[in-house]
Amino acid sequence: MKRVLVTGASGLLGWNICRSPSFQDWQIFGVCFTHPVSLSGVTILKRDLGDAGGTEILFQDVRPDAVIHAAAVSDPEYCEAHGPECFGLNVDASIRLAHLCRKRSIPYVFTSSDLAFDGMNPPYREEDPVSPVSLYGRQKVEAERGILEVYPDAAVCRLPLMFGIPGAGFRSILPMVKAMSEGAPLRLFVDEHRTPLHAGTAAAGVILALEKGRGILHIGGPERISRFELGKRMAEVFGQEQAVLVPSRQKEAITAAPRPPDVSLDSRKAFALGFRPPPLLDQIKASYSEFRMFNA
């Protein structure tokens, strides 16, 4: 049985990758560090990917046939304030894994971000010049370049805003749903646009890249939408009539990390490879079904 090593197993994306039916014939090893998690059928390993020697030992112990690197310090606000701390995982560890995968000639997928762009000329294709405005975006771009320089056969997946139910990493729709249910004012940007995906759909795209991808691949959703409109649709699907959604403007907000206005991805290359994301409304409904199951 083949073995796949998935980092960031407790995060929103990594958790969904580990649960994917695409890996039903694989032995799955999930790596987490800050947030422990338990997943049926997955061997969870607590490892610090910032430890070079420990990562080498991890490869010797697991002997993976493929690696998906979904671990990251992915909060742009936190990253902006703690750049050196985040650099170790976001850049150094990502390139180190590329070296280890190249040495073994095994597939390597790195999960990057639509924040590689400044949001001024959407929708973005893989060959468009990168122009990140936040430190998080710059670290992702630096990791992309370092990985492909070390291992040109690696796949780099630029991913959009994701939503869904998490493992233990907590970056999910749950805080939004809680605020909606309490009737707390929820300020959402009308002038910030993305091509969002349910995390399970994003996981399917990442696994497709593992099987067929090489180089940079955009894994975006089928629809461009503002954060405010996305919030409205979620409130409708989740039955949160009491939700108080306040339209706000990104350009008037004060944030620690600069925010690009529109980083919508052109994902036709992934579509040509067989990536078939369902309509956005169907993905939101899938997220609601998960929410009900996990809160039964």
* pLDDT for the residue numbered 169: 47
Q: Which domain holds residue 43?
A: 2-172+197-223+263-279
Burial (CB count within 10 angstroms: exposed 0-12, middle 13-18, buried 19+), residue 114: buried
The packing angle between helices 93-104 and 52-62, to 10°, is 40
What integer best gives the mean pLDDT of the chain? 94
**Residue 69 structure tokens:** 């690197």
Inside any domain, residue 142: yes
Residue at 91 is within a domain: yes
Answer yes or no: is 254 within a domain. Answer: no
pLDDT tens-digit readout, 152-186 = 999 999 999 999 976 554 556 777 888 888 888 99
Percent of the chain with pLDDT over 70: 97
Burial of 20 (0-12, 13-18, 19+ CB in 10 A): middle
- Predicted confidence at residue 170, as pLDDT, reads 52
Question: Could you tell me if residue 292 is inside a domain?
Answer: no
| Token pair belonging to 86 | 């985040």
pLDDT of 112 higher than 60: yes
Q: What is the pLDDT of residues 57-90, one digit of tens each?
A: 999 999 999 999 999 999 999 999 999 999 999 9
Counting the structural domains of the chain, the total is 1
pLDDT tens per residue, range 253-262: 889 999 999 9
Domain assignment of residue 165, yes or no: yes
| Residue in 156, 112, 154, 120 with CA at minimum distance from that of residue 137 | 112
SS3 content of the chain, % helix, strand, coil (to 5): 45, 20, 40
Query: Is position 291 within any domain?
Result: no
pTM attached to this predicted model? 0.95
Read off the CATH number of the domain in which 58 is found.
3.40.50.720
**Across 125-139, average pLDDT:** 99
Angle at 208 between CA 278 and CA 231, to 5 degrees: 35
Report the pLDDT value the prediction gives residue 165, as an integer from 0 to 100.
78
Residue 167's pLDDT is: 59
The rounded percent of the chain whose pLDDT value lies above 90 is 84
Phi, psi of 254 (to 5 degrees): -105, 115
Is 101 inside any structural domain? yes
Contacts of 246 (CB under 8 A, 6+ apart): 185, 186, 187, 188
Residue 288 lies in a domain: no
Q: How do residues 215-255 score in pLDDT, each as one tens digit?
A: 999 999 999 999 999 999 999 999 998 889 999 999 898 89
Rounded average pLDDT over 19-41: 92
Of the candidates 138, 115, 129, 16, the residue with the CA atom closest to the CA atom of residue 70: 16
